[in-house]
Amino acid sequence: MTLLSLSLLVIAAFLHAGWNLVAKRVAGGAAFTWLFSSFSVLLLFPFALSATSGKGCFLGTELLLFASGSAVFETGYFLFLQRGYKAGDMSVIYPLARGTGPLVATFLAIVVLGERPTPLNLAGTGLVVAGILWIAGFSPHLKDFRSRTAPLLGIATGVCIAGYSLVDRMAVGERGFPPTLFFFAVIVIQVMFLTPLALRESEGILLQWTYYRRPAFTIAFLATSAYLAVLYALSITPLSLIAPAREASIVIGTFLGATVLGEGYKKRRMTGSAIILAGIALLAAG
């Protein structure tokens, strides 16, 4: 891996953990998710337009079908994530979501795509499960309903990550859709899915715009920048090296939650996130 690729992935990891820190502090619902998703559409538009110029690419029926499938999981991802941040600590939700995603994605790749696990895959799976249990399972601090619900929401978020990862892999990898154009279509459809939910919320879009437009734009900017940084790294570096390196955000996000937000149980959660990261590295290496 070149120094440029490594630098891009480290930057992307900090950007990803950073927008989750902002999201945790707001802990909004569907209306807030709608707002920062709309900002993401505006930020991605010039990149999507560039992907179509002179290349004959357009938003055809097949692309839109794949984008709709991905958008279902993306919408669930953001809603579960926001609910998780309302119910529990970032240093629990973030590593569980980021760890469960690759774990379930590997399982789906075996079942749906017919891939076969290697010994390294199996070892990585064991480490990810161990890290998840270390952070969330059988812990003495899970005393009330909210703290017991939070890990489940983190795992549900990870399942959604696995879902859209599988669809995205098929769309960009097998069908060859331009990544920026495809991702733009996903976010547009996601905004459409979120609109009726946002309109029904008591804390509606107008209130979110009045009080939270700055954090919403910050999330959109950081998330879009992280995505584009990973895309560029993918263009010059094999995926097998990209996947484990980008998940360094697990450790960063856990550290931010435990330290910046003062959530406690720092040693336990940092250890668990490191175990999960090691497991993801083995999943990618296999």
Long-range contacts, stretch 215-218, CB < 8 angstroms, 24+ apart = 215/22, 215/25, 215/26, 215/36, 216/26, 216/32, 216/35, 216/36, 216/39, 217/36, 217/39, 218/19, 218/22
Q: Lowest-confidence range among 76-90, 113-127, 151-165?
A: 113-127
Q: What is the mean pLDDT of residues 134-157?
A: 69
Residue scoring higher pLDDT (157 or 284): 157
How large a percentage of the chain has pLDDT more than 90? 35
Q: Lowest-confidence range among 96-110, 129-143, 223-237?
A: 129-143
239: confidence class by pLDDT, cuts 50, 70, 90:
low
The answer to whether 253 and 96 have CB atoms below 8 angstroms apart is: no
Residue scoring higher pLDDT (221 or 130): 221
- The whole-model pTM stands at 0.85
Nearest to 80 by CA among 38, 120, 27: 27
Q: What is the mean pLDDT of residues 200-209?
A: 86
Q: What is the mean pLDDT of residues 119-147?
A: 70
Q: What is the mean pLDDT of residues 7-12?
A: 87
CA angle 40, 249, 39 (to 5 degrees): 10
Residue 56 has pLDDT above 60, yes or no: no
Provide the mean pLDDT of the chain.
Answer: 84
**What is d(CA 101, CA 95) in angstroms, rounded to the nearest whole number?**
10
- Structural domains counted in the chain: 1
- Residue 196, exposed/middle/buried by CB under 10 A (0-12, 13-18, 19+)? exposed
Range of the domain at 10: 3-285
Per-residue model confidence (pLDDT) at position 149: 82
Place of tokens 């029926």: 61
